[in-house]
Amino acid sequence: MKLSLAEGTALYRLLADPSRLRLLLLLEGYGLSATELTEITGLAQSRVSTHLTRLVRAGLLEVEREGKAALYRLSADDSGAAELWRVMQPKLGDAQARLDRERAEEIVRARTQSWADSVAGRMERYYSPGRTWEATARALINLVDLREVLDIASGDGVLAELLADRARAIICVDISYKVLSAARRRLNGRGNVSFCRADMHRLPLSPESFDHVFLMHALAYTREPALVLQAAAQVLKPGGRLVVAALHRHRHTAAMRAYDHVNLGIGVDALHALLIATGLRVETCRITSREPRPPYFEVISALARAPDKIASGSGIGQVRHPQAGPGFGGDLV
């Protein structure tokens, strides 16, 4: 959201007050009344009320009625103030903020309703010890047996770290020596993970080598997605599965440049058609997530399966697996 100079100056002044920052940090975790905020912070109730009024007016807070209480919560609005707060909030934290949070936890526990009751319908917006997407993913990954895995455009190994315990072997492929070196450090001691520097358009791997191939946000870095998907399809074993996460088509060129993307995402129909063209059977291809904040980026998730037998190809299909001896065309790092 664009702000005028006057609007920007007023916004920075609004967030330059330590008392208002204390209130915002408290309301990141809970819906609290003015009386409760006064008790937690030790500020005068008149000051708390004045601060709350200004924060509501700026679009940072909203007020909800729960029984007889008026509870203040962080707003879901997309104001300029909200954007600035999202940048500031992760960088804030000191002894006073921790003490405020401890006092807030005591007050919330003392209410007649449970914590779950107090955040019902908005639970994903509020912190609860141990309740994170990472924890959920690590719990659910125990349900799968991935066997031989290829992670294309693997970056610094975040996905491989998550999957390593459920795979017989993982190969991380990336074009950058630097990020693969970081992946090696992250996965140090994992004997079932190896690393290969290679172009994802021309994988130096044997055909029909992998049970699962992952393309997690790799398509944002190619002008030729058909080649990338074809390369991925050719290294799948019969019956193997290709997992794709890709940014849905958008118009935000500034974001594209900021993250070194070379395209503006891909459409659902276009991705589906490209997967079909590789000879894979598409099981799902749809938008599965939408960010709650501007510019509301959406992500497509696709799952496609190789047929029982993939016909031998030429070119990429003739190059050997990196651990198969002479003829490997990539760089082990």
pLDDT per residue as tens digits for the range 209-244: 999 999 999 999 999 999 999 999 999 999 999 999
Task: Output 216-219 pairs: Cβ under 8 A, ≥24 positions apart.
Answer: 216/151, 216/153, 216/159, 216/243, 216/244, 216/245, 217/153, 217/245, 217/246, 217/247, 218/152, 218/153, 218/246, 219/244, 219/246, 219/247, 219/263, 219/266, 219/271
Q: Which residue has the tokens 């594209």?
A: 256
Q: Which residue has the tokens 């003490």?
A: 99
What tens digit of pLDDT does each residue of 43-84 get?
A: 999 999 999 999 998 888 888 887 677 899 888 776 777 778
Q: Which pLDDT value is given to residue 321?
A: 44
Q: Which pLDDT value is given to residue 318?
A: 38
User: In 3-state terms, what secondary structure has residue 151?
Assistant: strand
pLDDT, averaged across the chain = 86
| CA pair distance 109, 102, nearest whole angstrom | 11
Q: Which helix (H) or strand (E) holds 194?
A: strand 193-197
| CA pair distance 311, 293, nearest whole angstrom | 45
| CA pair distance 127, 76, nearest whole angstrom | 16
CATH number of 133-332: 3.40.50.150
| CA pair distance 188, 190, nearest whole angstrom | 6
Bridge partner list, 71? 64
The residues spanned by each domain of the chain are: 5-123, 133-332
For the CA atoms of 280, 281, 286, 288, the dihedral, rounded to the nearest 10 degrees, stands at -90
Bridge partner list, 210? 236
| CA pair distance 3, 78, nearest whole angstrom | 13
Question: What are the tokens at 176?
Answer: 């950058």
Lowest mean pLDDT, pick from 48-62, 96-110, 122-136, 231-245: 122-136
| CA pair distance 71, 33, nearest whole angstrom | 4
| Same fold for the pair 5-123 and 133-332 | no
For domain 5-123, is the CATH number 1.10.10.10?
yes
CB 107 within 8 A of CB 40: yes
Helices (H) and strands (E) in the chain, counts: 13, 10
User: In 3-state terms, what secondary structure has residue 270?
Assistant: helix
Give the pTM.
Answer: 0.64
318 or 25, greater pLDDT: 25
Rounded mean pLDDT, 143-151: 95
Q: Residue 331 above 60 pLDDT?
A: no
Q: Which helix (H) or strand (E) holds 240?
A: strand 236-247
